[in-house]
């Protein structure tokens, strides 16, 4: 076993990340959005509506005028000068250009050439790729069918590792509120279909973790029960994401270990913090339910470390992938590996985690990039929910990425 290098401290990782961070337009907007929350919500609304309205600049200036009081005088003057100096049709083109510039660093185009280029770039740096067919919960049957086709296409064309959102395969129209058994049965069939496709194409599959109230526990049950069935008990290339912001996540971690031991074949767990913190809070408050997530960021961070330590002590059964951009959590995980990276890799998000990826691969630490795939020209609408989650996350005051800009 290699000895653990002392240099992998939080400070070392932070410095490595900072020195490899490119300065982009996105960085500028993330900073601005963090400083002025009113602007953040206007940016989000603008991104949301830009593809639907005929003149995004008119929409933008109108909404800015309404919230002028919430902005500092220098920003008000800049926006007023821009409105006076730049003709509407030029401003529309500029806004669409900026939005595209904000979007493109987060997505990979779902075409073979773009994919091959990215693959070559990452392979040169010993970095793996996980493909994510961008999409959210399907509303109608035809959407769910399209998602299934997209997963099949991604597996056939690109291979490697694929991330799957089970909610995108089950249309809301066939979701029976209050009928857990029936929903589980439908979702199990979808998961089995995905496993068959994965086997046929020799691809490894990981299920994404989704919203708590509707999907989270359902997906875990489907995953655990299916993998204990005789037909699926000996496939190794299968995994699930676990959200450390859930108060009950450690019980799930123990459950995954028990399942891996019982089937006698390892499973992979991508440990994340969780991307739906704000939404879950609103749903719980509106419905009068007990909030199932930690309410202090420190608690989530500590729980993340606890789960990573637990899985690393059980590496024979659980292949663990810490998915974070936070130097503190990265340093903790590295310390726990003691320099032995067997059955272990970090995972980062395409675009957002680039500096972390560079810092890790420069130090020969295994890392893969989670790449959301969108169709050419489809980015503005297809990736919207994903993008909004990323913007909310990275303009929040306690975001680790913002601290490292
Ligand atoms: C490769 C990869 C795959 C991912 N897959 C998924 C997935 O399948 N499902 C999913 O839900 N997310 C997923 N995510 C997103 C992930 O959950 C985080 O939202 C994101 O990575 C930011 O966390 P961080 O550790 O990088 O940054 P940090 O800035 O250190 O942490 C931010 C996170 O802390 C938590 N947090 C913030 N404020 C509070 C608070 N007041 N109380 C408690 N907790 C708080 C939230 O989870 C927030 O996202 C993935 C991330 C990566 C890198």
Q: In the 8-state DSSP scheme, what is residue 353? A: T
Mean per-residue pLDDT for 47-72? 75
Which of 129, 134, 245, 273 maximizes ligand 1 atoms within 8 Å of its Cβ, making it the mutation to test the pocket?
A: 273
Provide the pLDDT for residue 247: 96
Residue 326 near ligand 1, beta carbon < 6 Å: yes
Residue 323 near ligand 1, beta carbon < 6 Å: yes
Q: Are 273 and 217 in contact (CB under 8 A)?
A: no
Provide the pLDDT for residue 30: 67
Residue 374, CA distances (Å) to 44, 68, 110, 361, 387 in order:
19, 36, 5, 26, 12
Give pLDDT tens digits for 117-136.
Answer: 888 888 887 888 998 887 77
Positive or negative, the Cα torsion across 150, 190, 231, 254? positive
Residue 376, CA distances (Å) to 135, 334, 380, 381, 383 in order:
15, 38, 10, 11, 11
What string of H, E and C letters represents the secondary structure of 14-39?
HHHHHHCCCCCHHHHHHHHHHHCHHH
Residue 187 has pLDDT above 80, yes or no: yes
Give pLDDT tens digits for 276-310.
Answer: 998 898 888 888 888 999 999 999 999 999 999 99
Structural domains for the chain: 20-103 (no CATH), 107-386 (3.20.20.220)
User: Percent of the chain at pLDDT above 70?
Assistant: 84
Residue 296 near ligand 1, beta carbon < 6 Å: yes
Which of 131, 239, 272 maximizes ligand 1 atoms within 8 Å of its Cβ, making it the mutation to test the pocket?
A: 272
- The CB density around residue 23, as the number of other CB atoms within 10 Å, is 8
Residue 3 has pLDDT above 50, yes or no: no
Contacts with 35 (C-beta within 8 Å, 6 or more apart), sequence order: none
Ligand 1 centroid–CA 325 distance in Å is 9
Ligand 1 centroid–CA 307 distance in Å is 14
Residue 23 has pLDDT above 60, yes or no: no
Mean per-residue pLDDT for 152-156? 88
Q: Across the chain, what does the average pLDDT equal?
A: 84
Q: Are 355 and 20 in contact (CB under 8 A)?
A: yes
CA distance 399 to 273: 12
Provide the pLDDT for residue 18: 62
Q: Given the CA of residue 402, which atom of ligand 1 is nearest to it?
A: 29
CA distance 13 to 7: 8
Q: Given the CA of residue 399, which atom of ligand 1 is nearest to it?
A: 29
Give pLDDT tens digits for 229-267.
Answer: 999 999 989 999 999 999 999 999 999 999 999 999 999
Mean per-residue pLDDT for 199-212? 94
Q: Are 97 and 127 in contact (CB under 8 A)?
A: no
Mean per-residue pLDDT for 155-174? 88
- The CB density around residue 327, as the number of other CB atoms within 10 Å, is 23
Which of 17, 137, 268, 274 maximizes ligand 1 atoms within 8 Å of its Cβ, making it the mutation to test the pocket?
A: 274
Mean per-residue pLDDT for 162-172? 91
CA distance 217 to 204: 22
Q: Residues in the chain, how many?
A: 405
Positive or negative, the Cα torsion across 165, 257, 342, 7? positive
CA distance 397 to 395: 6
What pTM was estimated for this model as a whole? 0.85
CA distance 199 to 261: 22
Q: Are 39 and 71 in contact (CB under 8 A)?
A: yes
């Amino acid at each position: 076993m290699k000895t653990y290098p002392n240099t992998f401290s939080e400070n070392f990782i932070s410095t490595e990340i900072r020195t490899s961070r490119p300065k982009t337009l996105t960085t500028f907007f993330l900073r601005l959005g963090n400083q002025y929350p009113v602007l953040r919500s206007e940016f989000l609304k603008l991104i949301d509506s830009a593809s639907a309205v005929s003149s995004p600049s008119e929409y933008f200036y109108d909404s800015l005028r309404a919230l002028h009081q919430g902005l500092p005088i220098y920003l008000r003057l800049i926006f007023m000068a821009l409105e006076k100096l730049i003709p509407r049709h030029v401003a529309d083109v500029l806004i669409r250009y900026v939005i595209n510039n904000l979007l493109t660093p987060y997505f990979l185009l779902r075409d073979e050439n773009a994919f091959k280029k990215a693959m070559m770039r990452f392979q040169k740096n010993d970095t793996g790729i996980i493909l994510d067919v961008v999409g959210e919960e399907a509303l109608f049957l035809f959407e769910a069918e399209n998602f299934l086709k997209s997963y099949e296409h991604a597996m056939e064309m690109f291979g490697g590792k694929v991330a799957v959102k089970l909610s995108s395969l089950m249309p809301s129209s066939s979701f029976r509120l209050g009928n857990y058994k029936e929903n589980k049965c439908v979702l199990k069939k979808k998961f089995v279909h995905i496993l068959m496709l994965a086997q046929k194409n020799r691809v490894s599959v990981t299920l994404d973790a989704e919203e708590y109230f509707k999907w989270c526990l359902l997906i875990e049950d489907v995953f655990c029960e299916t993998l204990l069935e005789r037909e699926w008990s000996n496939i190794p290339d299968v995994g699930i994401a676990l959200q450390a912001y859930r108060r009950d996540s450690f019980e799930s971690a123990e459950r995954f270990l028990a399942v891996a031991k019982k089937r006698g074949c390892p499973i992979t767990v991508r440990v994340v913090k969780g991307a739906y913190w704000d939404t879950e809070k609103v749903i719980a408050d509106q419905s009068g339910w007990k909030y199932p997530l930690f309410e202090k960021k420190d608690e989530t961070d500590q729980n993340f470390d606890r789960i990573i330590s637990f899985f690393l002590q059980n590496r024979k059964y659980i292949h663990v992938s810490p998915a974070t951009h936070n130097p503190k959590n990265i340093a903790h995980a590295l310390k726990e590996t003691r320099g032995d990276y067997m059955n272990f890799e970090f995972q980062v998000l395409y675009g957002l985690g680039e500096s972390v990826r560079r810092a890790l691969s420069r130090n020969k630490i295994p890392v893969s990039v989670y790449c959301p795939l969108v169709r050419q020209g489809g980015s503005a609408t297809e990736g919207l929910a994903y993008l909004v989650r990323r913007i909310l996350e990275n303009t929040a005051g306690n975001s680790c990425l913002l601290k490292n800009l």
